[in-house]
Structure 1
């Protein structure tokens, strides 16, 4: 049996190598590598008294592409934003909206801006209040949820990355969002 750096090759590795060796064209002046004949495997017959249950063919699994990774803004872009050399192309303020309203507004805003060719937008969420607000009243909900929404499947194809805004654009109560380039007609 062939060896690979001190290890024996498995039957699967040998079969794979033979398959690859058949498809390779040798360099000029060299003869092709002769593929070793494949050993004949014995055909196993099931015992008549024991019939194997008939199994359905496995369904083809739809190949889902891995979610696109989100990245923070590059250092150079952050510096340009801080110095005022780069500006945001559009902004939306989500203050005073309920979560469902804010999510729908954010989704619509990002789609429209992507179709317009915008690369960098600002989303103002607000910082939320500080202190005890009693039972059932929660502050800073949008500030917490917008980054989560940006990583969900409905907004992931639109967003390249996001990061907290500079102080002059709202600081921790706002986000810079880099948009992906629009690809073809969108519904």
Structure 2
């Protein structure tokens, strides 16, 4: 170990070595304030959410809904009727699904609207929406079942829908075909 005498000698040697040195003129440091974060467009987000809600009305009266006993079917005008039979037989693979169990109507409407918008962005063609059979609701009536179907008819990207096959949810779900 180095003793105190050796430390003093080292400091003396260092001072002697740098006695003629001049300090460098350090460049002035500019003080930049931290970058301000980008503003969050809260009003725009609220407006977009409201537009989604407004795009689906609970008071829409369907003009082109087909009834087949208890099963409800829908096909937008201008499309081939065989689309419905293909949809009912499972011709298209379900690429995405949502479950509305436990949601109230307003929550479900927003969820369905944002789900369909997301599917449109991602190019998804066939989806399943599980709305339930209404067994847990007041009066044991399928409230969301009819609301979901009315909402779907109002969306331009929906070509057709049909009740899901038994293995896909039966009368508690609907299979929807979307535009490409």
* 1:2-38 Cα deviation digits (max 9, x unpaired): xxxxxxxxxxxxxxxxxxxxxxxxxxxxxxxxxxxxx
Aligned 8 A contact 2:130 2:169 in 1: yes
Where in structure 2 are the equivalents of 1:35-54 lying within 5 Å?
A: none
1:145 paired residue number: 147
> How far 1:98 moved relative to its partner?
0.6
1:69 aligns with 2:83: no
Q: Which has the larger radius of gyration?
A: 2
Shift of 1:87: 2.3
Unaligned runs of 5+ in 1: 1-66, 182-187
Aligned length: 104
What TM-score do the two structures reach when normalised by structure 1? 0.49
Q: Cα 1:119–1:100, aligned 2, differ >3 Å: closer, same or farther? A: same
What is the aligned counterpart of 1:107 among 106, 110, 113?
113
In structure 1, what is the Cα distance between the partners aligned to 2:84 and 2:96? Answer: 19
Q: Provide Cα deviations, 1:144-175, integer angstroms capped at 9, x if missing partner.
A: 211111122xxx22211111000000001000
- 1:113-139 CA-to-partner distances (Å, cap 9, x unmatched) read 1111111000000001289x5xxx663
Q: Which runs of 5+ in 2 are unaligned?
A: 1-63, 65-74
Alpha carbon RMSD of aligned pairs, Å?
A: 2.7
Relative to total residues, which structure has the larger helix share, 1 or 2?
A: 2
| Superimposed CA distance per residue, residues 25-62 of structure 1 (whole angstroms, 9 cap, x where no aligned partner) | xxxxxxxxxxxxxxxxxxxxxxxxxxxxxxxxxxxxxx
User: C-alpha distance in 2, partners of 1:144/1:75?
Assistant: 21
> Under a length normalisation based on structure 2, what TM-score does the superposition of the two structures give?
0.51
Report the 3-state secondary structure (helix = DSSP H, G, I; strand = E; otherwise coil) of the residue aligned with 1:106: helix
Aligned-partner Cα distance in 2 for 1:95–1:130: 9
- Local SS of the residue matching 1:74: helix
